[in-house]
Amino acid sequence: MSIIVQKFGGTSVADSKKILAAARKAIRATMEGGQVVTVVSAMGHTTDHLVNLAKQITDQPPAREMDMLLSTGEQVSVALMAMAIHSLGHQAISMTGAQMGIITDSTHTKARIRSITPDRIRRALDDGKVVIAAGFQGINPADDITTLGRGGSDTTAVALAAVLHADACEIYTDVDGVYTTDPRVVPEARRLKRISYDEMLELASAGAGVMHSRSIEFAKKFNVPVHVRSSFSDQAGTMICAEPEAPDQPVCGAAMAKDEARVTVLGVPDRPGAAMTIFSQIAAKNIATDMIVQNVAAEGLADISFTVVRDELPVTLKGVEEACRLLGAQGYNYDDNVSKISVVGLGMKHQPGVARRMFRALADKGINILMITTSEIKISVLVDRDSALEALRTVHAAFGLDKEPAQPGGAVAAASAALSNDTADAVVRMQNMEDLLLDDLALDESQARVTLSGVPDRAGVAARIFEEIAAGGIVVDMIVQSIGREEYANLSFTVPRKDLAKSLELVGGLAGQLGCPAPASSPNVAKLSVSGTGMRSHTGMASRLFRSLAAEGINVEMINTSEVRVSVVVDGRQGAKALDVLRTEFADVLV
């Protein structure tokens, strides 16, 4: 018999009428011959209200008690949903995370799923019942209730679909699919027919709140096709699966992370391991850092900038203070009034000029770019929060995201929850379901680095630089622009080694016009890329990478982090050695 996992989000179960409507959808699926597991979230804004209640009592509620509180929201809705199904003449049973056998680690409020033993669910299904599963919660080995992080019911649903080898995983929500960007913010946004796991992962972590990004890690790792669709209609929505919608389209979507904060640690001794000290202090607090950029500053000192979610700034700064003390750094500063705008697309891997198009569009609107990082399938810029909305609209229009793609991809290969042999082996080897899983470690020795320092920090400069480079027909790979000191920024990028001389000539001319020093360069760099799943949510990943390289005396010159890949640039002479170091360091999680 086929198994279907359905999930209804908060708005879809906000009142009794909506609960009854969701119940009818579940019943219909059973009538069509399936066994149904229905995952539900807390009703409407219940979780927000619970968070507020806690805040009225204390600023710093114990995390264990927070989970005890937050998990009650889902317990209310599972009971009501089971009652609704009974009232319509069908059998149902509600279950909490513990009753479903969802074991997590003990990171309260952000727990990771370790294992699921779905025996009880299976028995209930075999008894002809609809199982109503409480989303977002589990239990740790000490029997304490845990929650998976805001939006975590998506992760419950996809994880259950994975362990039950479900034939379908349907996410019912208040939009009718995944759009090119949040349709409530940009009304011109277009609904995608499908989107690849990697693209959805990047968009989710870049701020597209429609799916919890960890749910997509599960979907990718266990090859679960996910159908995002409307609770209020029967129309098909968006399939999240292995294939992209249009492989030739450079960008499939844009996202905004509005409430970000930038932190810069000043005057860090420029030696192997310095960055590691900073990031391990922060990782120890379970905070994910993003947009990490390092500047070569004067006299053997570097400035290291990164971003975190604004709510996590106070805790982050505690870690930063500790790191400054340990490193003897000059100090730090921060800006909590910034937003991150990202564009994502598998197609940008093979197409030049995508970054330039984004920078030009922003320049034409007079929007200043504070920081830039790129990965293979994502470009992110940091802007002032006041211009964030305009920036999002601008890039959405610049890539024509409101229009149907000219050459859509072919039909989706038949969806199958069967795992490839490699992945199946790896998953069996994994102790915990949400463990970090790496599938590739690559060394690229074909590139050179160009660094421009003292770049005037004003709108349009990045656009001019990359237009100049593109005019020379040169394909740029990694780009990082950091916050500089006193209104000047630093910008580094990599190009194919054979194009270095020409790049320097082109940028050199422009540097003169902009009044900045002649560009510096390194003709021989090695880029190491680690790909896999869980790269960003496993907060210790970056510090493990820095630590292992530093222990062998290898300095990291550039870094970019994304959901699916972390890349570092090191001195070209150390490429092969760095590859060995990483192979050894990550042997336990490499497929």
Q: Quick one: which of 22, 67, 71, 136 contacts ligand ASP (CB under 6 A)?
A: 136
Instruction: List Cα–Cα distances, 312 to 23, 73, 214, 395, 412, in angstroms.
Output: 38, 24, 19, 27, 40
Q: Please tell me whether residue 173 binds ligand ADP under the rule CB under 6 A.
A: yes
244 binds, among Mg ion, ligand ASP, ligand ADP, none (CB under 5 to 8 A by kind): none
Nearer to Mg ion, 18 or 360 (CB): 18
Restricting to residues 45-74, name those near ligand ADP by CB under 6 A.
Answer: none
58-87 binders of ligand ASP (CB under 6 A): 73
444, β-bridge pairs: 527
Q: Which range binds ligand ASP by CB under 6 A, 82-90, 93-101, 151-159, 507-515?
A: 151-159
CA quadruple 11, 149, 561, 228: dihedral, nearest 10: -30
Answer yes or no whether residue 73 interacts with Mg ion by CB under 5 A: no
> What is the Cα–Cα distance from 510 to 366, expressed in whole angstroms?
20
179 touches, from ligand ADP, ligand ASP, Mg ion, none (C-beta below 5 to 8 Å by class):
ligand ADP
- Residue ranges of alpha helices (H) inside 366-452 are 388-398, 421-429
Q: What's the CA gap between 211 and 151, in Å, rounded?
A: 7
Residues 199, 200, 204, CA angle at the centre, nearest 5°? Answer: 120
Burial (CB < 10 A; 0-12, 13-18, 19+), residue 53, is exposed
Whole-number Å distance between alpha carbons of 270 and 297: 8
Q: How many helices (H) and strands (E) does the chain have?
A: 16, 24
Measured from the CB atom, the residue of 74 and 303 that comes closer to ligand ADP is 74
Give the residue with the Cβ less far from ligand ADP, 175 or 564: 175
Cα-to-chain-centroid distance, residue 33: 36
DSSP 159: H
* Number of residues this chain uses to bind Mg ion (CB under 5 A): 2
Say whether residue 41 binds ligand ASP (CB under 6 A).
Answer: yes
> Does position 209 bind ligand ADP by CB under 6 A?
yes
Q: Residues with Cβ < 8 Å from 216, sequence gap 6 or more?
A: 158, 197, 200, 201, 204, 226, 240
Per CB under 6 A, does 215 bind ligand ADP?
Answer: no
Stretch that binds ligand ADP, among 168-176, 274-282, 347-355, 547-555 (CB under 6 A): 168-176
Over the window 113 to 152, marking each residue x when it contacts ligand ADP by CB under 6 A and - when it does not, the resulting string is --------------------------------------x-
Is 63 in a helix, a strand, or coil? helix
Residue 73 binding: pick among Mg ion, ligand ASP, ligand ADP, none (C-beta 5-8 Å cut-off by kind): ligand ASP
Find all residues with CB under 8 Å of 389, minimum gap 6, and list them: 185, 256
Nearest residue to ligand ADP by CB is 9
Among 4, 9, 466, 559, binds ligand ADP (CB under 6 A): 9
131-160: contacts with Mg ion (CB under 5 A):
151
Distance in angstroms (rounded) separating the CA atoms of residues 203 and 194: 13
The three-point CA angle 103-107-109 to 5° equals 95
Q: Of Mg ion, ligand ASP, ligand ADP, none, which one sits near residue 12, judging by CB under 5 to 8 A according to partner kind?
A: ligand ADP
Q: Nearest-CA neighbor of 578 among 591, 587, 569, 590? A: 569
For 335-383, the DSSP string reads EEEEEEEEEE-GGGGG-TTHHHHHHHHHHHTTPPP-EEEEETTEEEEEE
- Can residue 150 be called a binding residue for ligand ASP (CB under 6 A)? yes
Query: Contact region for ligand ASP (CB under 6 A) — 150-158, 412-420, 480-488, 583-591?
Result: 150-158
Instruction: Count Cα atoms within 13 angstroms, Cβ side, for 406.
Output: 6
Residue (41 or 374) nearer to ligand ADP, CB: 41
Residues 279-318: x/- map of binding to ligand ADP (CB under 6 A)? Answer: ----------------------------------------
User: How many residues in the shown chain lie near ligand ASP by CB under 6 A?
Assistant: 13
Using the rule CB under 6 A, is 11 a contact of ligand ADP?
yes
Estimate to the nearest angstrom the gap between the alpha carbon of 26 and the chain centroid: 31
Sign (positive or negative) of CA dihedral 11, 12, 13, 14: positive
Distance separating alpha carbons of residues 542 and 539, to the nearest angstrom: 7
Instruction: Name which position in 37, 42, 160, 462 contacts ligand ASP (CB under 6 A).
Output: 42
Which residue, 5 or 480, is less far from ligand ASP as judged by CB? 5
Does 388 bind ligand ADP (CB under 6 A)? Our answer is no
Closer Cβ to ligand ADP, 182 or 303, answer by number: 182
Contact between 543 and ligand ADP per CB under 6 A: no
**Which H or E run contains 320?**
helix 313-327
The binder of 497, among Mg ion, ligand ADP, ligand ASP, none, by C-beta within 5 to 8 A per type, is none
Alpha helices, DSSP H, located in 383-493: 388-398, 421-429, 461-471
Nearer to Mg ion, 211 or 549 (CB): 211
Question: Per CB under 6 A, which region of 23-31, 103-111, 146-154, 318-326 contacts ligand ASP?
Answer: 146-154
Q: Using CB under 6 A, list all residues that contact ligand ADP.
A: 9-12, 41, 151, 173-175, 178-179, 181-184, 208-210, 253
Q: Using CB under 5 A, list all residues that contact Mg ion.
A: 9, 151
Q: Using CB under 6 A, list all residues that contact ligand ASP.
A: 9-10, 41-42, 47, 73, 135-136, 150-154
